[in-house]
Structure 1
Amino acid sequence: MTSIKIIAAAAALTVFAGAALADARPPARAVTLSDFDGTWYEVARTPNSNQGPCTRLQVAITPGSGGAYNIVSTCNRASGSPQVTRSTATSLNSANNRLRFRAASGAAGFVGVSQEFWVLDRADDYSWAILGTPGGNYFWLWTRSPNPANRADLLARVRALGYNTSNAVQTGG
């Protein structure tokens, strides 16, 4: 089974609570996991208690053993010290757009915690991706640039998927 560590472990590996959005849609496009290799930057997300004051989240994705992908997520904290979380992910379906992440190391209390995430939408060239939780509670907007010029357009795409962006945390650039 093909695996990937796509979603920011610092953002992704937690149990989220909150009301689901009734109109949040499941992912429709297939994902080629190897196209997620490299560096991603979180530029916006739903507020959540696990990331708190985490800014400038950078995610490095590399192939691992057995078809798995390794994720190293690094963010800046208010204290000035970076928080690094290492995780793994596996594909849950043949389209590779439903993923399970498991924290391997990093923030205390997260090791071994797993969470399902969906790749809701992506650019044809994998220059951006919208990730979310299955219940429609949380989203993350990732790009290949820390401060993309098309941020407003991408947030409009997130809204079109049924996610509330009115209180989105702007975390990039």
Structure 2
Amino acid sequence: MAKSKIAKQSKVIKHVRSNQNVVPLNLEIPYKHKKSIQVQQFDVSHLLYFGANKENEKISSRAIFIRSFCKKAHQYVSNGKSARSVARYYESLRAYLAFCDALNVEPFSESGYLKYAGNDGELRRRIKIFNPSKRLWEYNHGDELGIKESTVSGLLSCLRIGLEWCGLPVSD
């Protein structure tokens, strides 16, 4: 009985099981500090951890969002925009993530955003605390400082851009 030509040509598939096919996460953004002249690469992998602290547990569901943020930040700077703006977006996103972790709320959800920026959120509470007639040296140690409403609008603008870069649908 004749053998099939197809059977002769078939080869056994070799499965590769090694650590060489693991791609490291490149979670860096172009970052420019207020006082520095040059743009530096800044590692933001700490945002993957609870409370943005590498000593705490890692939350793997954030990796997609943080990777998207890094990708958009690199695109933004490569288009000729300011790396200082990227730094502001990162700082507002980091503060937001730390706040949501402190309250144990999912940061990349509507409920997390409303806890921070809603009508009954943290920023609204800090606006109510603000007392413009009181000077900084008149406060006691441990007193909370409020913030102006104009400052909150800038913070929210940066946060919205940061969350949009993370891949969330953010609208006004």
TM over 0.5: no
More strand by share: 1
More helix by share: 2
TM-score, normalising length from structure 1?
0.29
Larger Rg: 2
